[in-house]
């Protein structure tokens, strides 16, 4: 039984190309060229046979090269050996394992679906968290304009009161250096919050 499958493959291939390449008889061939005399038809037919023979050999060589490249012989021998071992093994189940394979495939698909569902849920949660954070930052930015202005005025008043109490000058003459320092600090705070919102 050794090499039987490989041998059967070669035999089937040989029979197939032989029937294809020699299906035209000499009589049918000559009838296809009614304008030639018998001598010309004879030479033309011999040329046809040479071409067919050469083509037959080329196809056989190509087939053998393909079998060697794909290791068709060893693969078929392995299949034959496995089938023989299964046939001789009394414990080998006779029923097909199609149901088992189907179960494994279904389980793999289910695991893939579960994984993708989990990833989608995580993405939705991240999107919700980012949206909430943006809303908070927008609200802080809106509240910042009024709160910062009030804070700035309070600082000016406090500084002006302290300066007026210390120098007995009117509050109108609040030092420009202190005012400028407070203004810079307030603007820096607003700049930091704006950059945080952009991120």
| Domain, as residue range, for 65 | 4-88
The answer to whether residue 84 scores a pLDDT higher than 50 is yes
Which pTM was predicted?
A: 0.36
Whether 109 is covered by a domain: the verdict is: no
Arithmetic mean of pLDDT, 113-132:
82
pLDDT: is 92 or 124 the higher one? 124
- Compute the distance between CA of residue 82 and CA of residue 77 in angstroms, rounded to an integer: 9
- What does DSSP assign to residue 177? H
Q: Are 161 and 171 in contact (CB under 8 A)?
A: yes
Write the pLDDT tens digit of every residue in 151-181.
665 666 665 555 555 444 444 444 455 555 6
- Compute the distance between CA of residue 107 and CA of residue 88 in angstroms, rounded to an integer: 33
Residue that terminates a domain, selected from 54, 88, 122? 88
Q: Which of 12-16, 103-107, 144-148 has the lowest mean pLDDT?
A: 144-148
Whether 52 is covered by a domain: the verdict is: yes
Residue that terminates a domain, selected from 88, 104, 120? 88
Q: Are 21 and 52 in contact (CB under 8 A)?
A: yes
- Compute the distance between CA of residue 187 and CA of residue 190 in angstroms, rounded to an integer: 5
Whether 99 is covered by a domain: the verdict is: no
Whether 100 is covered by a domain: the verdict is: no
Residue that terminates a domain, selected from 88, 105, 123? 88
Whether 30 is covered by a domain: the verdict is: yes
Tell whether 10 and 84 lie within a shared domain: yes
Query: What's the confidence (pLDDT) of residue 124?
Result: 82
Q: In total, how many domains does the chain have? A: 2
């Amino acid at each position: 039984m050794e090499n039987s499958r490989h041998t059967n493959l070669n035999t089937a291939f040989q029979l197939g190309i032989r029937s294809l390449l020699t299906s035209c008889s000499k009589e049918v061939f000559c009838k296809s060229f009614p304008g030639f005399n018998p001598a010309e038809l004879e030479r033309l037919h011999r040329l046809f046979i040479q071409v067919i023979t050469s083509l037959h050999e080329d196809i056989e060589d190509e087939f053998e090269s393909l079998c060697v490249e794909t290791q068709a012989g060893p693969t078929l021998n392995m299949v034959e050996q496995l089938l023989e071992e299964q046939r001789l093994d009394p414990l080998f189940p006779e029923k097909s394992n199609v149901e088992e394979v189907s179960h494994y495939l279904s389980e793999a698909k289910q695991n893939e679906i579960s994984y993708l569902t989990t990833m989608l849920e995580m993405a939705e949660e991240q999107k919700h968290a980012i949206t909430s954070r943006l809303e908070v930052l927008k609200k802080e930015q809106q509240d910042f304009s009024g709160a910062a202005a009030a804070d700035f005025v309070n600082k000016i008043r406090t500084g002006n009161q302290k300066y007026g109490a210390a120098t007995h000058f009117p509050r109108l003459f609040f030092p420009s250096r202190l005012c400028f320092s407070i203004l810079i600090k307030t603007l820096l705070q607003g700049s930091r919050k704006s950059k945080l919102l952009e991120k």
